[in-house]
Amino acid sequence: MPCHNEELKQKIKTLKARKNAVLLVHNYQRPEIQDVADHLGDSLGLSINATKTDADVIVFCGVDFMAESAKILNPSKIVVHPNAAAVCPMAAMVSAEDVRELLSTHPKAEAVAYVNTSADVKAEVDICCTSANAVKVVASLAAPEVIFVPDVNLGLYVKRFVSDKEFHFSSGYCHVHQGIMRSELEILKKAHPDAEILVHPECIPEVIDFANFVFSTEGMARHVKTSEASEFIVGTEKELCYRLENENPGKIFHRVDSALCPAMKQITLEDVLHSLESLTPRIELDHGIIEKAKRPLQRMIDLA
């Protein structure tokens, strides 16, 4: 299998050059997919990279909403999502109709959509956010009320820092981070008492309370490079640890074994190669949706 993977990686590298393609890869992808990335990062970093590339083709190795965002920000480019089965369950937990109903019920509110949402949902809101900038985005709003969709855990985390606004949540959540339990972290901490505990803001409140630090995945990557600690318990999807280990030789990272996202594991090297060969499956969005959804995404990026 390793030899087969190396052959696939070389073919992908050759085709990337031939097709003038760029591979944007999320931190939760399989290690072998991370190995072929031109840009590896979180939703915010990859969204920004999508606006800066001069490639003709964007191959987005992540879940569906991420590839949609790349298309929204680059409507004239070919955007390919290598496996259409890589669908984010949380993004499916809120619809455009849900947002319209919340706005109707709370007319004084501005609506914030986590980027983990469909293009249709983004088209209905005032601004988007990621886990890296959610506090900054919400704090920037002038409205006294905020509609925050779909992740209630991230919304509750933001509420800790923005006390002057009334929040209205939907009931979405990330099943991976929702499933990380304080008891799991306690066991890991007992086994590794010198380790810092880093968790993602999509985690439930009692896990956030137990952690030493709360970061987006990119925030975790930055923190461990400068931290004096040499050992870390990483409370997010466990594939992030592959990147952390590569970037920080000599430091030790302890995964939460239950933190696995099946959707993020759908894409294989074979899928990436096929997508470069055929330039499919392509992301196609209605022009009107692109125009409406681009405004809140661009407003978010402008704050970065």
pLDDT in tens, 92-123: 999 999 999 999 999 999 999 999 999 999 99
Return d(Cα 72, Cα 50) in angstroms, integer.
Answer: 10
Return d(Cα 234, Cα 19) in angstroms, integer.
Answer: 37
User: Which residues lie closer than 8 Å to 97 by C-beta, 6 or more apart?
Assistant: none
Q: Give me the pLDDT at residue 51, please.
A: 86
50: confidence class by pLDDT, cuts 50, 70, 90: confident
Q: Structural domains in the chain? A: 2-87+264-284 (3.40.50.10800), 91-174+288-303 (3.40.50.10800), 180-258 (3.40.50.10800)
Say whether pTM exceeds 0.85: yes
DSSP 111: E
Q: Give me the pLDDT at residue 2, please.
A: 62
Contact 65, 116 (CB under 8 A): yes
Q: Which two tokens stand for residue 272?
A: 């990436």
Q: Mean pLDDT of all residues in the chain?
A: 96
pLDDT in tens, 28-42: 999 999 999 999 999
Q: How many of the other CB atoms lie within 10 Å of CB of 43?
A: 26
User: Which residues lie closer than 8 Å to 302 by C-beta, 6 or more apart?
Assistant: none
pLDDT in tens, 235-265: 999 999 999 999 999 999 999 999 999 999 9
